[in-house]
Amino acid sequence: MSVLLEVDRVTKAWGGVVANREVSLEVTEGGIVGLIGPNGSGKTTLFGSICGAHPIDAGAIRFRGEDISTLRTDAIARRGLVRTFQTTRIYAEMSCVQNMLISAPNRDEGILDMFRRFPAEQREHADDLLQFVGLYDKRRLLAGDLSFGQRKLLEFAMALMNEPTLLLLDEPTAGINPTLINSLIDRLKRANAERGVTLFVIEHNMRVIMALARHIYCLAHGELLASGPPEAVRGDQRVIDAYLGAH
């Protein structure tokens, strides 16, 4: 398996607070990789750095061998690296179908393509994906009228609609009830297996990340603390100490 994403000694400071210090990690193609760590350990900052939400202070981020650390967010997304947000971001005043349609891939969009109608197969694909996450009945409702959990599912479906190579998920199960969590795990796994989407997941819920990831990185105080297969990381004394606050 080839390396899809390579984070190479990335440092990012917010004022005097170093959120990421020389963090290095790799995501291989076709895998499901987890990123864990206590609150404030710099997980979301790292995601932001990878997606070009803010410039990094030092290091390099390579996606398929190309340095993307100076590219703009939308240019990175068009290369097939898409993220979802911890706070769940959807287009609230648009219907679910519209949310899906505008998320269709736009890699080679020219000036004239801006004025195109949506082809029938894109509409069908949007309906299929809404079916896939169980929101088909609600597809004509405004996205802002959905419950929190449903919004998470919609955001996930929108990300899939974009046909990413690598999908970064920031706490996909936060605030979702346990029943829905199980079906979400199932869908994440299916997206990975059936659609070939590589997943890189931030998650606090240990049960979820153990069930999902094949490789886990753990951050603490902005530095990479441990990495390895789920079982090994879970048993690592340093990880346990970091979560329980021992120093």
Binding site for other proteins (CB under 8 A): 51, 53, 72-75, 77-78, 82-83, 85, 89-95, 98, 101-103, 105-107, 109, 111, 113-118, 131, 136-142, 145, 158-159, 162
Choose among 235, 227, 231, 192: nearest CA to 35.
Answer: 227
Residue closer to other proteins by CB (options 109, 241) is: 109
Task: Compare residues 200 and 227 and give the one whose CB is closer to other proteins.
Answer: 200
Q: CB of residue 17 vs other proteins: minimum separation in angstroms?
A: 22
What's the min distance (Å) between Cβ of 135 and other proteins? Answer: 11
Which residue lies nearer to other proteins by CB, 30 or 134? 134
CB of 131 or CB of 183, closer to other proteins: 131
Residue whose C-alpha is closest to residue 45's, from 222, 224, 226: 222
What is the closest distance, in whole angstroms, from the C-beta atom of residue 59 to other proteins in the complex? Answer: 21
What are the start-end ranges of the E strands in the chain?
3-14, 17-28, 32-36, 58-63, 66-67, 81-83, 166-170, 198-202, 215-220, 223-228
Q: What is the sign, positive or negative, of the torsion defined by CA atoms of 65, 47, 187, 93?
A: negative
Beta carbon nearer to other proteins, 130 or 239:
130
- Nearest distance, CB of residue 223 and other proteins, angstroms: 26
| Nearest alpha-carbon partner for 166 in 20, 62, 59, 89 | 62
Task: Give the nearer residue to other proteins in terms of CB position, either 91 or 243.
Answer: 91
What secondary structure does DSSP assign to 183-204, as a single string? HHHHHHHHHHHHS--EEEEE-S
Three-class DSSP category at 49: helix
Strand 198-202 relative to strand 32-36: parallel, antiparallel, unpaired? parallel
- Closest distance of CB 31 from other proteins, Å: 22
18 φ, ψ (degrees, to nearest 5):
-85, 110
Cβ 159 to other proteins shortest distance, Å: 8
